[in-house]
Amino acid sequence: MNLPKTWVVLLTLLLAAMAMVPMVSAETISAQTNIAAMSDESGAQKDGTIQKLPDFMPSIKDKVSYEEMQRLMKNYTPPPPVPESDMARIIFSKSWFTQNDKDPRADRVQLTFPVAWLDNPPVTDGEAVVLLRVPKRVLKLDDMNPDPGMITVSYPDMYFREFSNLMMINLTSQAQKINLETDLEESDELSAPTVYKSQKLYETDGIDRQVRAIYVRDPSYSVNAVTGRIGSGSFTNKGETFLNYDEHEIYLDRSGDVIEFIIQFSDTGQSFAWVAVYDEGNWVTPWDWLNIELTGLSIKLVDYKLYILSGGVYDIWLYDYDTNTWHNIQYNDTDNPSTIINQIMGSTELDTVGGISKNFFARSTRCRVEETRSGTTWYWAPETFDWWNYTPDEQYVQIESTIDEDNIITIHRVGDEF
């Protein structure tokens, strides 16, 4: 069928216009979309207003040089885990656990149980049991039940560990994690690092790139806590010299107050999960303040939790899936502290020494922003945060973001092919 030339022109213009419409909701948001190409309504919230983005967007590469980071990694000291005296151990019979999990999803568990079970679980010596081991303070902060005699919590299924009987809890250091394979499917493309001798550090200027995926708080909610998951994935390097930072940046309601949850790749194949706190634009925490090395681990997943407490205290937690350990530290922002979270941004940042001349690639897993709390009520992140936009696309760095029913997903990549 032959179309008149005018219809061909109109059809071409229509298709071009359709290509400029951002894809949100359950569809993948194109990482190639440029802010300048978006419609005038981009960034509008559910109530039609436009939330102002922060003037300050932190960049680790501006705070620490390549050479200084090499020194820090060489002298890395792991943080101590939360002591056992501060951990809650709740034991359920397997049959009760199976019958009372109210979450239909395979990778989540929601349970309600009496506070008395913390000290006296109703299980017998011979039956199969399930153990939930979390810090006591986390359990209190996550409790959704208004009844002081009951506890209701919702956690990833991998927080729960199954044992054949009570005795095995104390005898077994590493036991089966329920549905472990299901969660690890998200960590696709995992591989052992392929490392080659690094190129010489030429005295030419490095190449620095960064790109962000931005979500803004729905003004109907006053979000004071957030949970999520980050993890390292694929890596290969044939001689390039670089550092890569893949981040969930949590912007608070005071200018320059930001908390970053970071996956870091170095050109040698080392990887770390760590936390940086910015107070009024100043990076105020040491690199190894709260930092877990992921290099060579069998499970490269880390959960994070941030609670904004009264009195300017930011309560920050990391959970290491490989070692089943919790790590915690608090930052006390005593002068005019923030009280709520305004924006959440996924960020991919690249810091190089000299030009890009060698093949390299690094990719984080499907990082997730999971739950947020407004007041005392917990919500899934897409309920309280709306999609805003990408920052302009830049060479060598890539970020993709999706919104599914429960989580905000970010995928981070760097490499010479992007």
Closest by CA to 97, choosing from 147, 161, 170, is 161
The per-residue pLDDT for 205 is: 59
Region 158-184: mean pLDDT is 64
- Which comes out higher in pLDDT, residue 171 or 307? 307
Written as six digits, the tokens of 397 are 């760095």
The per-residue pLDDT for 183 is: 43
Angle (CA) 185 191 194, round 5°: 165
Q: How confident is the model at residue 272 (pLDDT cuts 50, 70, 90)?
A: very high
The overall average pLDDT reported for the chain is 81
Neighbours of 285 (CB within 10 A): 19
Parallel, antiparallel, or unpaired for β 223-237 and 194-195?
A: parallel
Q: How confident is the model at residue 50 (pLDDT cuts 50, 70, 90)?
A: low
Region 221-233: mean pLDDT is 95
The per-residue pLDDT for 47 is: 56
**pLDDT for 66 beyond 80:** yes
The per-residue pLDDT for 48 is: 55
Residues 6+ apart with CB under 8 A from 72: 64, 287, 288
- Which comes out higher in pLDDT, residue 417 or 8? 417
The per-residue pLDDT for 136 is: 96
The per-residue pLDDT for 64 is: 86
Measured in residues, the chain has a length of 418
Q: How confident is the model at residue 46 (pLDDT cuts 50, 70, 90)?
A: low
Q: How confident is the model at residue 15 (pLDDT cuts 50, 70, 90)?
A: very low
The per-residue pLDDT for 202 is: 39
Q: How confident is the model at residue 131 (pLDDT cuts 50, 70, 90)?
A: very high
CA 413 to chain centre: 15
State pLDDT tens for residues 304-317: 999 999 888 999 99
The per-residue pLDDT for 106 is: 86
Written as six digits, the tokens of 378 are 């917990």
What's the predicted TM-score (pTM) here? Answer: 0.81
Written as six digits, the tokens of 247 are 């981040």
Neighbours of 173 (CB within 10 A): 7
State pLDDT tens for residues 334-372: 888 999 999 999 999 999 887 888 898 999 988 999 999
Among the ranges 5-14, 130-139, 183-192, which has the highest mean pLDDT value?
130-139
**pLDDT for 6 beyond 80:** no
The per-residue pLDDT for 311 is: 87
Judged by average pLDDT, the poorest of 2-6, 139-143, 157-161, 283-287 is 2-6
Spatial separation of the C-alpha atoms in residues 57 and 75, rounded to whole Å: 28
Residue 64 vs residues 60, 68, 289: alpha-carbon distances, Å: 6, 6, 15
**pLDDT for 35 beyond 50:** no
